[in-house]
Amino acid sequence: MLIDGEVIASTHVLDVRNPYTGKTVGYVPIASKKDIERALTLAQQAKPLPYDERASFLRHIATALVAKKELFSRLIVDETGLSFKDASHEVERAIGTARTATSIVERPMRTYDITLPYLASNVPPKKPILNVIKEPIGLAVAITPFNHPINLVGHDVFSAIAAGVPLVLKPSPRTPLTALAFGKLLHEIGLPPNLLNIIVDDGEHTAETVADLVMFPGTELVLFTGSVPAGFSLARLIAKRENPLIRFIPECGGLSPFIVCEDADLDLAAELAVKGCFDHSGQRCTAIRKLILIDNIADTFVNHLLTRLERFRYGDPYNNTNDMGTVISAEHADGVRRRVENAIKYGAQFIYGGASFLDRDHPALLPPLVLDHVDSQTPLVLSETFGPVAPIIRVKTIEEAIEVGRSPYMLAAAAVTKSREMALRIAREFGFGQFSWNGVPGYRTEAAPFGGFGLSGNGSKRGVVETIEAMLNKRTFYEH
C-alpha cells in the first residue's frame, strides 16, 4: 500500500501470481482497517496542486510513462497474463489519457467562474449579476478492476489531479503491482503526499475494505468499475451511509452486440470481429458478446473470420509475437469453459478452438473460441461471458438482429453496413451508451463521455472530461 507518499509495510501480504506460469511475481502489503482510515483521513486533509502547476505535472507523467513503457508493459503481463501486445497497448492508452487530461487543464477557465453558459441572454442583466463557480470536492474514492490495470487507474488519477481532488484508490487484488508502481512513479516526479493514497485488500475481505472506504464520512464521490453484483452491493452500501447523497459513478459491464448487415464489407467485418472478441483476451466490458449475422451472408462471413484466425497467435504472454495471452486466472477460465459447454448442449457448434479447449499445463489459457448457431437464450449470451469467445447468432432479418441484440446491459454496440441510415437506425433502437458504425463496440477516445444505462450503469458518464466535472461542485453567487 502507498500512504503519505511512502510504501507501508504490513504483517499480512498478498501473493501475486502470473496466470500463465502460476509463479509468484510479487508480494504486496495488505491494508488493515487502521491503514484505510489513515489513508482516507490524510487524503481528506491534503492540499491540491496549484491550478497553474497541474498541466505541467500531467505532462511530466506522460513523459515518464513513455520512458517506462516496457517496464509497465512487463508488469501488466506479470500479473494479468495479457499478451505483451495487449499490455503495451494498455500503457499507450494511459499515456494518451495523461495527455488528454493535460490538454483539458490547459483550456482557460476550466474551473472557478463558468457563468457564460448559464446566462439567459447574450447580454447579462445589470442587476443582479450571476456568477457560477466550480470548486473541487473534498475526497474521492476509486475502485478499479483487473482488466485495465493502468489506463482505468489513470483515468481516475489524472482526472483527480486535474480537478484538484485527493483520491484514495483500491485496485483489484488481482493487479495491485501495476497500480502501486504507478503511484510510486507519480510521487517520484513530485506529486504531493496524500493526493493519491493506494490501499490493497487480499480478495477475501474486499467487501469489508470497500465498506471502510465508502462509509468514511468525508467520501464525496465513489468511482467504480466492476461486475453488476458488485455494483448493486456498492449502491446498497452507499444507501446505508448517514448521508447517502454522495455521487456514485458505476460502470458495471456490458453485453455488446455486433451486427453484420447484408451489405457489409465482410472482410472488414471479420477483421473487427477478431479485434472485438479477442483483444485483451476478451476481458473488456465493451468486447463483442453477440456476433449477429444475417443468414444469407453468414457462411461467407464465417469463411472470412476463419481465414483471419489462421494468422492469429495465442499462448505464452511474454512472447511478443502472440496476439493473445491468458485470462486472469484458472478459475476464471473454468467459468468461461462451463458457459461454452452449456451452449454446446443447446446446439451451438465449435468451428474454432475446440481442439485445444482445455490446456492442462496452462489452465488459465484459452484459445480464441468461435461457436456457430448459438441459441440467443443460452447463458453464454444472456449475460457477460468475460473471455475470448465469439458466439455467432444467425438471424433472417435486420429486425430480428435488433431484437436479438437488445439487452438490459446497455453499454456499447456496433454494426457493419454501408448505409449510415441503417447504422443510425440500429443505434437509435438500441439506445446504448455508445455505438460504432463500421468499428468495434469498444472504440472510444479518452476524453469522450463513456458509460451505459440499465444494468451497465446509472447514466452518469466517465471519460476524462466527465470525470473531472464529477469531481467539481457548482455554486451560484448573485450580486444584487
* Residues involved in catalysis: 251, 285
Please answer whether residues 306 and 371 qualify as being in contact, where contact means their C-beta atoms are separated by less than 8 angstroms.
no
Total number of residues shown for the chain: 480
CB atoms within 10 A of CB 212: 24
Q: How far apart are CA 168 and CA 2, in angstroms?
A: 10
Cell of 365: 489459457
Which position has the grid cell 465498506? 211
- Report in angstroms the alpha-carbon separations of 274 from 25, 284, 390, 440, 462: 30, 14, 8, 10, 26
R_g over Cα of the chain = 23
Q: Within a 13 Å sphere around the CA of 202, how many CA atoms are in the beta-carbon half?
A: 13
Q: How far apart are CA 174 and CA 367, in angstroms?
A: 22
Which residues, other chains included, contact 83 with Cβ-Cβ below 8 Å and sequence gap of 6+?
Answer: 77, 281, 314, 317, 320, 322, 323, 324, 325
- Report in angstroms the alpha-carbon separations of 7 from 12, 35, 171, 172, 269: 14, 12, 15, 18, 48
As a 3-state breakdown, the chain gives helix, strand, coil percent values, each rounded to 5, of 40, 20, 40
Please answer whether residues 360 and 354 qualify as being in contact, where contact means their C-beta atoms are separated by less than 8 angstroms.
no
Which position has the grid cell 517496464? 71
Cis check for the bond before 391: say yes or no (omega within 30 of 0): no
Q: How far apart are CA 123 and CA 113, in angstroms?
A: 17
Please answer whether residues 86 and 280 qualify as being in contact, where contact means their C-beta atoms are separated by less than 8 angstroms.
yes
